[in-house]
Amino acid sequence: MKEIYLDNAATTRMKPEVLEAMLPYFTDYYGNASGVYSLGARSKMVLDQARGKIASTIGAYEEEIFFTSGGSESDNWALKAVCEAYQHKGKHIITTQMEHHAILHTASYLETRGFEVTYLPVDHEGFVSLKELEEAMREDTILVSVMYVNNEIGSILPIKEIGELCHKHGILFHTDAVQAYGHIPIHVKENQIDLMSVSAHKFHGPKGVGFLYIKNGLELSSFIHGGSQERGRRAGTENIPGIVGMAKAAELAHRDMEVNEEKISKLRDYMINRVMKENTQVFLNGPKGENIKLRASNNVHLSFAHVAGESFLIRLDMEGVAASAGSACTSGSTDPSHVLLAIGTDRELAYSSLRFTLSEETTREEIDRTCDLIRQIVSQLRELSPIF
Ligand SMILES: *Cc1c(COP(=O)(O)O)cnc(C)c1O
């Protein structure tokens, strides 16, 4: 029985073309990009090519792309470095209650370092109010960090409007675009983004590599001290195979974006419709109805009243379906998802929630089998439930 993988917001399968592009840089071309010998020159060349390729996908200049170890590092760097560099202007930053923990935990660390953080509330579909954002801005606000696409419920935020608002008030704008890059077209200049985090393993690239876009002119300190790699701002011998793989994955994702997104969102809607029709007391979390166009194309997030999410996941896994209870970072802990609580889901229902995230590799047959299983398992688990 083939595994049905529906946890693509957590990580994705690396594409065979990506592995193929990476392999020579483990075996034949292993030279250090800083070396003066020709083996090093080859690494230096592919590093520059990868940087150029990535920059062109977001309308940035090459020197604005800094390779990192992934989304978490990029988020940490953006927040900590802006706070350090601009603290003479003020010590207040604004973010939202539904960010990834890489942002939220960095923000609470910064609170221990004398910074003040406003955590903006979000509405029942996971959107921030521009009016509330503007009201939260102060003389001493130096940074706003709002995610592009929420990783749990799939809300796509109005990044351009947020960027414009920040710049109108002279505030820097960072976005965690880990769930957006490779799925929706992003132009950092048009969207007025100053810093942006991306991770390769979320768009069929390798794990442990990503980048931070830093707009020219921002004087940020080095995140990792050491050698002069990444223009002296992020030391350490470059992860050439990873970077080559990320550039390849970026190329494929952008080449096929339109076709893939159309295909995936059709499957998403098909799955949502089937599950809503075939089960009672099931609720779709995140953007819906009119707002479905503001929902990530791959995201299906559902709550099933009186069904324990953890038991549901285990039953699905026994049948070969990989899904998730909210986010990978919250599963395993006993707290319900902070995102579901932020959108006002009651605690009991939050524990009865599952996230299915599709990819272009997902087939109609896989979704049909998953929907059949959902119907069976929901009715079985409810028969066992004393309160249903
Ligand atoms: C996965 C994810 C991250 C973390 O990225 P890593 O590369 O795994 O460190 C950060 N933000 C969002 C929104 C994510 O989905």
Are 8 and 26 members of one domain? no
**Within this chain, do residues 232 and 291 fall inside the same structural domain, yes or no?**
no
Distance in Å, CA 328 to ligand 1 centroid? 10
Mean pLDDT value of segment 375-384: 94
Q: Of 176, 197, 337, which is best to mutate to test ligand 1, by the most ligand atoms within 8 angstroms of its C-beta?
A: 176
Instruction: Check pLDDT > 70 for residue 327.
Output: no
> Which tokens in the block code for residue 280?
């009672």
Say how many Å lie between the CA of residue 102 and the centre of ligand 1.
Answer: 7
Distance 38 CA to ligand 1 centre (A): 36
Q: Residues 6 or more apart from 334 whose CB is under 8 A from it?
A: none
The predicted pLDDT at position 326 comes to 59
Among residues of the chain, what percentage have pLDDT more than 90? 91
pLDDT band at 329 (very low <50, low <70, confident <90, very high): very low
The per-residue pLDDT for 85 is 96
List Cβ neighbours of 3 (8 Å cut-off, separation of 6 or more). 320, 321, 322
Residues facing residue 141 across a β-bridge:
92
CA 71 to ligand 1 center in whole angstroms: 5
pLDDT band at 367 (very low <50, low <70, confident <90, very high): very high
Q: What is the CATH number of the domain that holds 51?
A: 3.40.640.10
Which atom of ligand 1 approaches the CA of 70 most closely?
7
| pLDDT, tens digit, 9 for 90 and up, residues 106-134 | 999 999 999 999 999 999 999 999 999 99
pLDDT tens string 63-102: 999 999 999 999 999 999 999 999 999 999 999 999 999 9
Q: How many CB atoms within 10 Å of residue 158?
A: 16
Residue 333, pLDDT > 70, answer no
Is 298 near ligand 1, meaning CB less than 6 Å away? Answer: no
Q: Which of 42, 153, 58 is nearest to 97 (CA)?
A: 153
Residue 55's nearest CA partner among 170, 269, 162, 198 is 198
Residues 207-261: tens digit of each pLDDT: 999 999 999 999 898 999 999 999 999 999 999 999 999 999 999 999 999 999 9
Phi-psi region of 221 (alpha: psi -120 to 50; beta: other; left: phi over 0): beta
Domain boundary pick from 193, 226, 255: 255
Residue in 149, 179, 146 with CA at minimum distance from that of residue 164: 146
Active site residue 166: no
d(CA 387, CA 380): 14
> 193 and 85 in one domain?
yes
Point out which residues pair with 68 in neighbouring strands.
210
Neighbours of 300 (CB within 10 A): 26
> Average pLDDT in the 192-217 region?
98
CA 10 to ligand 1: nearest atom: 1
At 76, list the tokens.
């940490």
Whether residues 225 and 292 fall in one domain: no
Pocket lining: 316 vs ligand 1, CB cutoff 6 Å: no
The verdict on 226 and 279 lying in the same domain is no
| Closest residue by CA, ligand 1 atom 8 | 71
242 lines ligand 1 (CB under 6 A): no
The stretch 179-200 carries a mean pLDDT of: 98
Confidence of residue 372 (pLDDT cuts 50, 70, 90): very high
3-state class of 33 per DSSP?
A: coil
Domain-terminating residue out of 255, 285, 314: 255
- Residues 152-176 pLDDT 10s: 999 999 999 999 999 999 999 999 9
Distance CA 58, CA 56 (A): 5
Residue 263 maps to which CATH number?
3.90.1150.10
CA proximity to 301, closest of 263, 234, 350: 350
Strand 4-5 and strand 321-322: the pairing is parallel
Q: Is 172 helix (H, G, I), strand (E, B) or coil?
A: strand
pLDDT of residue 332: 55
Domain of 76?
16-255
Same domain, 121 and 107: yes
Q: For residue 262, give the DSSP letter.
A: H
Q: Do 178 and 266 have their domain in common?
A: no
* Cβ of residue 210 lying under 6 Å from some atom of ligand 1: yes
Mean pLDDT computed over every residue of the chain: 95
SS3 category, 346: coil
Same domain, 139 and 266: no
154 and 214, same structural domain? yes
Tell whether 352 and 366 lie within a shared domain. Answer: yes
Q: Which of 255, 279, 295 is the last residue of a domain?
A: 255
pLDDT surpassing 90 at residue 325: no
Q: Is the pLDDT score of 50 beyond 80?
A: yes
Q: Alpha helix locations (H) across the chain?
A: 16-22, 24-27, 38-58, 71-86, 101-112, 130-136, 159-168, 240-255, 257-278, 309-318, 338-342, 347-350, 364-384
What tokens were used for 350?
A: 């939050």
Cβ pair 338, 350 in contact under 8 A: no
286 and 203 in a common domain:
no
Do both 166 and 56 map to the same domain?
A: yes
> Looking at residues 337-360, what average pLDDT do you find?
96
Token pair in block for residue 77 = 């760097």
Q: What percent of the chain has pLDDT over 70?
A: 97
Rounded to whole angstroms, the Cα distance separating 109 from 244 reads: 33
How many separate domains does the chain show? 2
